[in-house]
Chains A and B, each alone.
Chain A
Amino acid sequence: MTDTLTPVLTANWDQADAFRMDGYRRGGGYQAVPKALKMRPDDVIAAVKDSGLRGRGGAGFPTGVKWSFIPQGDGKPHYLTVNADESEPGTCKDIPLMMANPHSLIEGIIITCYAIRASHAFIYIRGEALHPIRRLQLAVAEAYEAGYLGKDILGSGFDLDVVVHAGAGAYICGEETALLTSLEGYRGLPRNRPPFPAVEGLYACPTVINNVESIASVPGIIRNGPGWFSGLGTEKSKGHGIFSLSGHVAHPGQFEAPLGITLRELIELAGGMRPGHRLKFWTPGGSSTPILTDEHLDIPLDFEGIGGAGSMLGTRALQIFDETTCVVRAALRWTEFYQHESCGKCTPCREGTYWLVRAVERLENGKGTDEDLETILDVSDNIVGRAFCALGDAAPVPITSAIKHFRDEVVQHQKEGGCPFDPAASVLWSDTTVADR
């Protein structure tokens, strides 16, 4: 029987030198590189396929399958781009991972590049993460010095250069094609697909784009074998993942567990809800995933379980809100976020997010009408599936899922002519027990 928590990527975070080469090696780090370099690249891809690893950035696409889409023998350079732009509201796993354990990412990059036959990799990290950027810069320098990067790595004949590239504040650049456009030195606008990045990505060359945690999970798969990884998790959602609890729990934080753990278990590990309060609603994987309620505490947190409940596993960014929180206020702020971050390229998203904010604002202020509710649903219909990228598809999610689960509360705003909640009741310092943590 597998333990409830299974620290792998987080296992060394409490060691003072976790982010240094020596600290990482002490826990078995860099054992997977020589092992992988003795394998055929296609066998490395097969191992990652067999492990069942699915993308940890939210979409859950099988990582090994993605790698196998890279055409081989095409005479073009291949690239790996690590999506370290973590900006999805609520998501807070990759930033601490790169801060504490950057070498796990570097080791994963080496193995991935060897597998897809790339000799240049980029870590596109959001610019607002200064200290994690320093840690990555240090880790890359240490890896060059140790001969894990550069020319003829460990005498294998394999060459690899890694560049840490800081973004400049644009949520849209977490969308993989916008990320590529940005990395090429342009405004971060998404591109049409097809062609997919695996065929025409960075500089129109075959490119793999993977999330930080996906790549950092690769060394363990190579070191311990695909069966070790697939032995964790559920039938179709294999392996370990970092679950991030934030908000109204007694002890928010990071919990690394096999996929399929439940929110009930996680809240219990987090010391329960803050004293005297109960769960009202939560996001399973960031603001782009429809909110769920206390009816969903026992659903396995895996791709299928959460999908079956009408939401998405996303980035396992579990934002927990108790009964003091106004769901309309929460949805309004997220809606404003999508409006602020819309890149403006396509009309449904650019215009739709604007009108959504206006209507949701009226609901929150108690000035909403039945027509506003209809407008919201109508605008949603006109964004979802018609926008250029997933940002647009996500924009109506907070308010439509809030209406789905809490229609009475929305109506109450209308009846009372204002928001019935007191924001002061929700803050960190409203409860001494929480303030003590």
Chain B
Amino acid sequence: MAFSDETLARLRADAAEIVGRYPKARSALLPLLHLVQSEEGYVSGDGIAFCAEVLGCTETEVKGVATFYTMYADRPAPDYKVGVCTNTLCAIMGGDQIYSELASHLGAEEGGASEAGGGHGGITSPDGKVGVERIECNAACDYAPVVMVNWEFFDNQTPETAKQLVDDLRAGVPVRPERGPGRLCTWKEASRVLAGFGDGQAADGPPAGSASLVGLKIAKERGWEAPES
């Protein structure tokens, strides 16, 4: 195995904690895959071997699961994965245009673009920092068109705001999601949260964005409320 002894010891401790959450160890496989992805940025052969060792199953079984789910990358992933929703509602509200403009924006850069793994194809910036791909509906339709960066919400986007976002990510300029933490996680850090290890940012950001509050605001203005018990 290519993990250093030190890394392996740390991963084993984390893995034991994950396995301990479940009545049956095999249930830990999805979070374990998130864990190994948090280490390497993708699910490598070593990551697969590690999961198989922890669960006492074959590497083939682990690989069969890892390849079923689109969130596990099968090759080194960029630090920031930009996902443009191009499911119907967002596509029509502008997601299709945002994606095509972002793609040519990145593709026009020196060195051209390369294919990223996972999701709907997509392209990666020549410096390997930022990948852009099409994603399916991410349950933020009232903020359409929606762009996600490492699974944080960037609401009501336009081609201009999305290009600025990508430029900022490449230049290392801090960006923050409208409804999310103060500091945008890298792809690896986000994967660790998905494995069940909090990053201390849960209390950051507002409880809700403006669209989530449209109905509540009207109800308050008009004195509408649920009846008393």
Chain A residues at the B interface, C-beta cutoff of 8 Å: 2-8, 10-20, 23, 77, 86-92, 94-96, 99-101, 120, 126-131, 133-135, 137-138, 141, 163-171, 182-188, 203, 223-225, 228, 231-232, 240, 243-247, 251-257, 269-270, 287, 317, 319, 321, 325, 329-330, 333-334, 337, 340-341, 343, 423-424, 426-429, 435, 437
Chain B hits for A134, CB < 8 A: 181, 193, 198-199, 201-202
Contact with B203, one of A4, A20, A171, A244 (Cβ below 8 angstroms): A20
Whether the pair A127, B142 counts as a contact (CB closer than 8 A) is no
Listed by A's residue number, 13 A-B pairs whose Cβ atoms lie within 8 Å are A87-B139, A89-B136, A96-B209, A99-B208, A135-B202, A138-B202, A166-B34, A170-B68, A246-B144, A252-B214, A254-B215, A337-B87, A340-B136
Contact with B156, one of A23, A135, A269, A428 (Cβ below 8 angstroms): A428
Whether the pair B203, A138 counts as a contact (CB closer than 8 A) is yes
Whether the pair A240, B199 counts as a contact (CB closer than 8 A) is no
Chain B hits for A163, CB < 8 A: 21-22
Whether the pair A7, B226 counts as a contact (CB closer than 8 A) is yes
Shortest CB-to-CB span from B80 to chain A, Å, is 13
Whether the pair B194, A254 counts as a contact (CB closer than 8 A) is no
| Interface residue B140 (Cβ < 8 Å from any Cβ of A) | yes
Chain B hits for A167, CB < 8 A: 30, 69, 71
Number of interface residues of B (CB under 8 A): 87
Chain A hits for B69, CB < 8 A: 167-170, 188
- Known contacts being A130-B180, A166-B30, A246-B89, is A137 close to B214, with CB within 8 Å? no
Chain B's closest residue to A137 (CB) is B198
Shortest CB-to-CB span from A248 to chain B, Å, is 8
Contact with A131, one of B31, B145, B152, B156 (Cβ below 8 angstroms): B152
Whether the pair B181, A252 counts as a contact (CB closer than 8 A) is no
Whether the pair A424, B97 counts as a contact (CB closer than 8 A) is yes
Chain A hits for B185, CB < 8 A: 130
Q: In the bound complex, what is the Cα–Cα distance between A254 and B139 (angstroms)?
A: 12
Chain A hits for B151, CB < 8 A: 127-130
Shortest CB-to-CB span from A158 to chain B, Å, is 18
Q: Which of B136-160 contact A (CB under 8 A)?
A: 136-145, 148, 150-153, 156, 158
Chain A hits for B177, CB < 8 A: 131
Whether the pair A129, B88 counts as a contact (CB closer than 8 A) is no
Q: In the bound complex, what is the Cα–Cα distance between A432 and B158 (angstroms)?
A: 13
Q: In the bound complex, what is the Cα–Cα distance between A95 and B216 (angstroms)?
A: 17
Given contacts A131-B202, A187-B64, A254-B216, could you give 9 more A-B pairs where the C-beta distance is less than 8 Å?
A3-B225, A5-B218, A87-B139, A96-B209, A128-B138, A185-B28, A188-B69, A423-B92, A428-B158
Shortest CB-to-CB span from A25 to chain B, Å, is 15
Whether the pair B208, A18 counts as a contact (CB closer than 8 A) is yes
Q: In the bound complex, what is the Cα–Cα distance between A169 and B142 (angstroms)?
A: 21
- Known contacts being A247-B144, A319-B141, A337-B87, is A13 close to B214, with CB within 8 Å? no
Whether the pair B141, A247 counts as a contact (CB closer than 8 A) is yes
